[in-house]
């Protein structure tokens, strides 16, 4: 029996999807540690706290509890979900819409458009007049409900119970011989200092569960920076992980049915020195010339702290040709460059992510990794998988600034054709 991950998965599935919008209305208006996806700190901390308690309970008592028939419980959950929606419709507070333009995310819109091309009837749930990131699809003679991505309910999904736990993920990857940075679980400053003394610097602290790099601090080299990083992470979680820092770009490897179908590079915003302008002036200049699909680079507390850990301030003048990262957060929404690289990756990557997909045992996965150059033999480089996402943003591969777009949605719908 695995009593782990359900609360954080529920939070991640719902939050920002429209289902729990009331939870985010009182979220901090701005939070540099959250980035461009600000959440309610108190709600997220509570969710992570409950998840941690559930996990510890499961660890302590799983050997005494009978193994639960997962498929039967999943079937019961699906049945209750359908009956609940039937009741809401009878009450007049729920309806379904066929307007694809109301999709709550680029990910869902791509899924919906691919469904239309295949003649699959897909509708969006609208609760009390508010469109949700929750959908209904009629396929294979039945009606199914899903959030964001249509995962066939008969496929193995056991990995979804634990992959949000970055410590468990790192342990299992390491045991399987798949590269991952050395990782320690911490819940207090004393534990953080003890782990800090044993690991190679620099280090990273991040919430044990969560996504989008929220409240993550990189390039930690001393105890003062460690204390500040723990304080930032503990705003949204009681449990954290401390990892050795890997160097290189951050990539998203999307795996569907154990096949690597997308490989996306997301770079952080950067500044290139000209020997004349200071960093603040370079940022202003770069914002004025940015691609229309790029967000502006924000000069906030997170950016200032990030460049300070590299030995710079906003008034520093970079030598001609010197390039520095301005944030640990990546992608065009942070003002960074993006590229789809699947046709260029080294052939060994396909075997590695097939193995990783089989280890996790879930139909659709988004692995985040750091590697200096994915076009070269990974066995000759220091690299590792740092996270795994159970609801990956497949639209990353379609809307990258550079490279050939990949419509991962077609691979997701192909999963439904497997059933006889």
Please report whether residue 313 resides in a domain.
yes
Percent of residues in the chain assigned helix, strand, coil, to nearest 5: 40, 20, 40
Please report whether residue 329 resides in a domain.
yes
Distance, CA of 133 to CA of 126 (rounded, Å): 9
| DSSP-assigned letter for residue 269 | P
Please report whether residue 138 resides in a domain.
yes
Over residues 393-408, mean pLDDT: 94
Q: Is 92 left (phi over 0), alpha (psi -120 to 50) or beta?
A: left
The four Cα atoms 66, 71, 76, 78 give a dihedral, to 10 degrees, of 140
Chain mean position to CA 210 = 7
- Using one digit for the tens of pLDDT, what is the confidence trace for 137-162? 999 889 999 989 999 988 988 888 88
Q: What is the pLDDT of residue 197?
A: 93
| DSSP-assigned letter for residue 67 | P
CB atoms within 10 A of CB 257: 17
Question: What angle in degrees, to the nearest 10, is found between the helix axes of 6-14 and 41-61?
Answer: 150
Contact predicate 169/243, CB 8 Å: no
Q: What is the pLDDT of residue 332?
A: 85
Rounded to 5 degrees, what are φ and ψ at 55?
-60, -45
Mean pLDDT across the chain: 84
Q: Is 13 left (phi over 0), alpha (psi -120 to 50) or beta?
A: alpha
Residue 306 structural domain: 268-336
| % of the chain exceeding 70 in pLDDT | 80
- Using one digit for the tens of pLDDT, what is the confidence trace for 108-139? 999 999 999 999 999 999 988 889 889 999 99
Contact predicate 393/332, CB 8 Å: no
Distance, CA of 54 to CA of 73 (rounded, Å): 18
Please report whether residue 292 resides in a domain.
yes
Which structure tokens are listed for 218? 């990189």
Please report whether residue 343 resides in a domain.
no
pLDDT band (50, 70, 90) for residue 77? low
Q: Could you give the residue ranges of the DSSP H alpha helices within 203-331?
A: 223-233, 279-288, 301-308
Please report whether residue 176 resides in a domain.
no
Q: Of 111, 132, 150, which residue is a domain's last?
A: 150
Q: Of 150, 172, 192, which residue is a domain's last?
A: 150
Distance, CA of 118 to CA of 115 (rounded, Å): 5
What is the chain's Cα-based Rg? 22
- Using one digit for the tens of pLDDT, what is the confidence trace for 258-315? 999 999 999 999 999 999 999 999 999 999 998 888 889 999 888 998 899 899 999 9
Please report whether residue 221 resides in a domain.
no
Which structure tokens are listed for 90? 């009878």
Distance, CA of 312 to CA of 292 (rounded, Å): 28
Q: Of 308, 336, 364, which residue is a domain's last?
A: 336
Over residues 366-385, mean pLDDT: 97
What is the number of structural domains in the chain?
2
Please report whether residue 409 resides in a domain.
no
Range in 87-101, 184-198, 215-229 with the lowest mean pLDDT:
87-101
pLDDT band (50, 70, 90) for residue 43? confident
Contacts of residue 376, Cβ cutoff 8 Å, sequence gap at least 6: 346
């Amino acid at each position: 029996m695995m009593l782990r991950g359900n609360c954080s998965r529920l939070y991640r599935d719902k939050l920002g999807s429209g289902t729990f919008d009331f939870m985010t209305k009182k979220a901090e208006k701005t939070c540099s540690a959250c980035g461009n996806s600000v959440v309610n700190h108190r709600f997220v901390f509570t969710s992570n706290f409950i998840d941690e308690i559930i996990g510890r309970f499961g660890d302590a008592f799983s050997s005494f509890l009978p193994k639960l028939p997962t498929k039967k419980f999943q079937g019961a959950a699906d049945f209750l979900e359908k009956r609940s929606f039937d009741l809401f419709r009878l009450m007049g507070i729920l309806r379904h819409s066929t307007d694809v333009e109301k999709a709550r995310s680029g990910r869902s819109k791509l899924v919906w458009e691919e469904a239309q091309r295949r003649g699959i009837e897909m509708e969006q749930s609208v609760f009390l007049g508010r469109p949700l990131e929750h959908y209904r699809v009629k396929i294979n003679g039945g009606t199914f409900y899903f959030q964001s991505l249509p995962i066939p309910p008969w496929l193995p999904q056991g990995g979804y119970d634990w992959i949000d736990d970055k410590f468990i993920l790192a342990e299992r990857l390491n045991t399987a011989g798949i590269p991952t940075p050395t990782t320690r679980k911490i819940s207090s400053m004393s534990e953080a200092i003890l782990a800090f003394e044993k690991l190679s610097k620099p280090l990273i602290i991040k919430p044990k569960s969560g996504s989008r790099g929220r409240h993550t601090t990189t390039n930690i080299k001393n105890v003062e920076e460690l204390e500040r990083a723990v304080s930032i992470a503990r705003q949204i979680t009681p449990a954290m992980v401390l990892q050795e820092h890997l160097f290189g770009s951050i990539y998203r490897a999307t795996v569907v049915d154990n096949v690597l179908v997308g490989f996306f590079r997301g770079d952080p915003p950067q500044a290139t020195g000209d020997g004349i302008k200071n960093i603040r002036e370079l940022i202003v200049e770069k914002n004025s010339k940015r691609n229309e699909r790029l967000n502006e680079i924000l000069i906030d507390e997170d950016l200032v702290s990030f460049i300070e850990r590299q030995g710079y301030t906003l008034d520093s003048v970079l030598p001609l040709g010197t390039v520095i990262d301005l944030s640990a957060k990546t992608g065009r929404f942070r003002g960074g460059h993006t590229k789809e690289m699947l046709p260029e990756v080294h052939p060994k990557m396909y075997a590695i992510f097939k193995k990783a997909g089989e280890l996790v045992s879930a139909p659709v996965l988004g692995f985040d990794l750091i590697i200096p150059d994915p076009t070269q033999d990974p066995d000759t480089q220091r690299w590792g998988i740092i996270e795994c996402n159970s609801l990956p943003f497949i639209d990353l591969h379609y809307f990258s600034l550079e490279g050939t777009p990949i419509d991962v949605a077609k691979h997701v719908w192909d999963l439904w054709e497997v059933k006889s």
